[in-house]
Amino acid sequence: MLAVLERLAAEPQQWRHGYDLMKETGLFSGTLYPLLMRMTDQGLVEAEWREPAQPGRPARHAYRLTTAGLALARDIAANAASDAGKAALT
Amino acid sequence: MKLVIARAMMALAAHGLGGARRPWGMAMLAEFDAAADAGQPLRFAAGCLIAAIRELPRQEEGRFALASYALALGVMLPMASVQLGAALFGLPYLFPGAGDLPGALLEGSAHEGLIRSVYQAASPAIIMLLLTLAVGHFCIAWSMIERDWDRVRRLGTLELAGSVTLILFMAVLFLDSSRIAVQTAVLVVELATLRIIVERHAQLFPAAAPAEHPG
């Protein structure tokens, strides 16, 4: 989930397709889709049908973080940075 | 060939994601072209199929689908096979005694002369009845897989009528009533299970339930 949050948070306004997310996160479709389903159920991700870039192709489902999802991604990133800082000091 | 297999897997995955998850099945299907263009149709399709299978027990509709598949494959098909076997090979549950039909005729006993002609006259009708019940079970199993619950209900009613006729035949003809008890017990369990699952379907999918006809 962290990998998906991180990728989607990198460009929060950008809608991303499932296959592009697979390539960027290195996740298998059998892992990515259940994650996207859960994250959508929890209100972290929003999904909508987007018109295809190439004519003749079907509309594709696209995803981006909701405000709650973006807040969670930023919290996790901040906590990770804080932990890294503490580790560097010790 | 790889593409054909992958498309079949995608169709299965999309079919498996029903009810509230249907848009996700459509989303996977829509994404398949991108995966195929990238040369990974099988890998993508296998993942989607695994995701759909893993999702089934998490949803009420999925659990219902699994239960109905289990009932179709674990009860209806075996019952159809038993009835087919009983009709074609004279499996012992139908006839009293250890010797199938010859045993039922009590060959060599004092009763043989009295009942042989009755059994001989009744056997074709019983065998036809059993074959009809076996075909009925196959049709019920198929209708369950197709989720045609209205047809399941209608076929169940016909099976009930056929089974009651068979039980009456057995009660009239056979000296050993324990066989009737077995047939009745099987019928009761089977129809009760069918009724439960049809009612559960009506609760889960009220829009798909058949309309009640007045009168």
Query: Which of A29, A35, A41 best tests the B interface by mutation, with the highest count of B CBs <10 A?
Result: A29
Nearest to B70 by CA among B126, B145, B179, B4: B145
Contacts of B26 (CB under 8 A, 6+ apart): A61, B14
Interface confidence (ipTM) of the complex: 0.84
* Confidence (pLDDT) at B1: 81
Tokens 């009640």 locate to: B212
Please report residues of B whose CB lies closer than 8 A to that of A42: none
Give how far Cα B61 sits from Cα of B50, B150, B156, B160, Å. 17, 17, 22, 27
Residue of B nearest to A51 (CA): B30
Give how far Cα A51 sits from Cα of A54, A58, A65, A80, B38, Å. 9, 8, 19, 37, 20
Radius of gyration of chain B (CA): 24
Per the DSSP assignment, residues forming a β-bridge with A62 are A17, A48
Measured CA to CA, the distance from residue B46 to residue A28 in angstroms comes to 9
Q: What percent of chain A is predicted at pLDDT more than 90? A: 56
Span B66-94, pLDDT tens digits: 788 888 888 888 888 887 887 777 655 55
Q: How many residue pairs bridge chain A and chain B with CB atoms within 8 Å of each other? A: 63
Measured CA to CA, the distance from residue B161 to residue B158 in angstroms comes to 5
Please report residues of B whose CB lies closer than 8 A to that of A29: 28, 35, 43-44, 46-48, 51
Measured CA to CA, the distance from residue B169 to residue B94 in angstroms comes to 11
Measured CA to CA, the distance from residue A18 to residue A16 in angstroms comes to 7
A-facing residues of B in 39-58 (CB < 8 A) are: 43-44, 46-51, 54-55
- Alpha helices, DSSP H, located in A1-90: 2-10, 18-25, 29-41, 67-89
Helix B22-37 vs helix A18-25: crossing angle, to nearest 10: 60
Please report residues of A whose CB lies closer than 8 A to that of B9: none
Six-digit token string for B33: 């072209």
* Confidence (pLDDT) at B143: 87
Does the pLDDT of residue A64 top 80, yes or no? Answer: yes
Does B14 or B182 have the greater pLDDT score?
B14
Q: Say if pTM beats, i.e. exceeds, 0.80.
A: no
Span B135-180, pLDDT tens digits: 998 998 888 877 788 888 889 889 889 888 888 887 777 656 666 6
Please report residues of B whose CB lies closer than 8 A to that of A23: 38
Task: Check if A74 contacts B (Cβ < 8 Å).
Answer: no
* Confidence (pLDDT) at B213: 43
